[in-house]
Structure 1
Amino acid sequence: MQQFGGPGDVKRLALAIVETIAEPFVVLDSHLRLVAANGTFFETFEIDPARSHGVCLFDLDERQWDIPALRQRLAAAMPDHPQISAFEFDRDVASLGRRTLLMSARTVDYGGSSAPNTLLAFRDVTEARRAESEKQALLERTEELLAQQRVLFQEMQHRVANSLQIIASILMLKARAVTSEESRRHLEDAHQRVMSVATVQNYLHMTEGVDEIEVSAYLKKLCDGLAKSIIMDSRPIVIDLHATESTIPSSNAVSIGLIVTELVINAIKYAFPVSTGSERVLVSYETHDTDWRLVVADNGVGRSVTNEPAEPGASLGSLIIEALAKQLDARVEIASSDKGMSVTIAHATFHSDASTAA
């Protein structure tokens, strides 16, 4: 290492180091008088170097540095020579206006050979703080807008629920009033579909704001609602549910719920023309990775001897199921025999060795 010839060399080295520091930097004596500072300090705060040497920090720039919080912080730190990290304060700069500064300080004690020096470094964080403030204001505004949106959504949900109930009541009144058996059947079908939409809508309203819906609880709620609204005491049809523990996106929940409702209603209406006391409808849902399969099966008489249309696309219910399955990128498979019928809605890539029987 190079040896210096004397104190003058050491002083020149120290001043060179100070000058290479990019941020405003100051060296003070034990009385907080300016011993040295880099050009960045003088330029940033518009201070005349010729009139600053030996001047107390708080007297510089027409006492612009005489800030009570800064004075107190330095006064508290000086006795024990601690290090100060990121002390934040505000001050006015003539050409820049109000600025927010972070100060770091360290007092160097030479062990009694000479008076200590205090080193100060300043960093302007005005723009960063302004950006943080704007971000916070934006977040608060966003929260306010989201709160308003939630209120509007709740109001809309309430209005939709009321409208569905009104429509269902009108359909039922019309069904009771008409004399044509075919018209009555169509009106009752429409009433059941409106009620199924209301059931789905009501459940999703209770889970508002949830991105993923738990399948088992969701389908149980639907099946229980269907059992109460459709199955009469004179027709003791059992609806069983087997569902793996999984979730579905709330965006898919409506379509799946409507499919289940439509298939269960069809099974109850067509599968059991004669009561045997052992009528059963099974709803099952299984998953494999991101794929899934929904099956609604019954132990009824099968399609061939029911009044249900033979072709999948021949009835309104089948058209609804096909359309909803297409939205879910799923395929529809129908199997029927004299031991019952099953309808499978499977995601396009789903494959499983498991079998589902009513």
Structure 2
Amino acid sequence: MEDAQTLAQAIVNTIPEPFLVLDDEFRVLAASVSFYKIFKVDPDHTQGRLLYSLGDGQWDIPTLRVLLETIIPEQAAMDGFEVEHDFPNLGHRVMLLNARQVIYEGELKSTILLAFMDITSRRAIEREKEELLRRTEELLQQKEILLKEMQHRVANSLQIIASILLLKARAVLSEETRQHLKDAHQRVMSVAEVQRHLHSSEGVDQIEVSSYLRNLCDSLAISMVGEGQPIAIKVMAHSGVIGSDKAVSIGLIVTELVINAIKYAFPSAKAGAMILVTYEIDAGDWKLTVSDNGVGKCASDGTGHNSGLGTAIVQALVKQLDAAMDTVSGRDGMKISITRATFTSNMPRAA
């Protein structure tokens, strides 16, 4: 029996964390060296004493009473029971308790094994992380609000500019000036369409290209196609997202090429007149094509039906996108392709 008690005490002392052995009345039968050291209590004032009376009652903790007097008798074991308390010699501490009730065969009495783990530092770090996360989320929310406000103001500004250009176009007497103002109006509207997609999309700088091109071309059709010469504008685009800066460039290119096709491809009424806009994606490569089934190109300017500001804009944007432009024109219409790297197309053309 003495050897067994010596072995048991040696095992208890070997445990690096504070450890207690209690009887069924919660009196201390044994305590580990780490318990005495950490909680600064004397063995002579610990052995055989009620746990709740140790250290001038510092262990008389309501949550600890719930564990020992309510949970353990019902469940016989409990892991990860958290106790938070202000200890006189230690200050505020958060302890994680593991408890086991040992019932001996043929005896009415039992023993309770109680292990303590100080997780004060861990909880402090977790709280710091939670606070940092909370502050980060607040900053992100503020950033999102400011970004939406900025997008809203930019969109409003673009709409105002577009409206002014349209009003000016209606007021001027020169047909050439009127046409330039209308073209400028469409360029502003193409940028406004990017802003609208940014405002409605989840990403900060990503735009779904298929819906973007469809909405842009629908806007062009409504404002540019007259009743005297109905022209269908069709969009066929692969699904995918592109950056907002790239979307602005592609949108401006489409705007210029579609406006050119509307103005020059169909000088006279034609049944089934159509402009086809396609956008294809192959991994990191892409191809944008604007084709029509009109009369083709009259002047050899290499970019469209007529040279001018629109041509210069398209050329600059193609260069900015690090792409190449190819124009094919004939009796069955014109096809202008903007290609990033090498790309094999499988889209149909306007017919």
Alpha-carbon distance, 1:301 to partner: 2.0
The alignment partner of 1:123 has SS state of: strand
Paired position in structure 1 for 2:35: 41
1:199-348, aligned counterparts within 5 Å? 199-209=193-203, 213-244=207-238, 246-251=239-244, 252-303=246-297, 305=298, 309-310=301-302, 315-348=308-341
CA distance in 2, matches of 1:22, 1:346: 69
Alignment of 1:88 with 2:82, yes or no, is yes
8 A Cα contact 2:78 2:98, kept in partner: yes
Letter in 1 for 2:289: V
Alpha-carbon distance, 1:107 to partner: 1.2
- Normalised by the length of structure 2, the TM-score is 0.89
Structure 1 pair 145–280 and aligned structure 2 pair: CA distance change class (3 A):
same
Structure 1 pair 354–81 and aligned structure 2 pair: CA distance change class (3 A):
closer
Gaps of 5+ in 1: 1-6
Alignment of 1:68 with 2:62, yes or no, is yes
Residue identity (%): 52
Structure 1 pair 249–43 and aligned structure 2 pair: CA distance change class (3 A):
farther
8 A Cα contact 1:294 1:345, kept in partner: yes
1:86-125, aligned counterparts within 5 Å? 86-113=80-107, 115-125=109-119
Structure 1 pair 309–181 and aligned structure 2 pair: CA distance change class (3 A):
farther
Structure 1 pair 44–249 and aligned structure 2 pair: CA distance change class (3 A):
farther
8 A Cα contact 1:282 1:296, kept in partner: yes
Paired position in structure 2 for 1:19: 13
Letter in 1 for 2:343: H
Structure 1 pair 302–283 and aligned structure 2 pair: CA distance change class (3 A):
same
Structure 1 pair 38–320 and aligned structure 2 pair: CA distance change class (3 A):
farther
- Normalised by the length of structure 1, the TM-score is 0.87
> Aligned residue pairs: how many?
348
Paired position in structure 2 for 1:351: 343
Gaps of 5+ in 2: none
C-alpha RMSD of the superposition: 2.6
8 A Cα contact 2:186 2:220, kept in partner: no
CA distance in 2, matches of 1:197, 1:79: 72
8 A Cα contact 2:289 2:338, kept in partner: yes
Paired position in structure 2 for 1:3: none
Which of residues 177, 181, 206 in structure 2 aligns to 1:183? 177
**After the TM superposition, which of the residue ranges 68-77 and 171-180 deviates more from structure 2?**
171-180
1:129-140, aligned counterparts within 5 Å? 129-140=123-134
Paired position in structure 2 for 1:4: none
Letter in 1 for 2:344: S
8 A Cα contact 2:162 2:188, kept in partner: yes
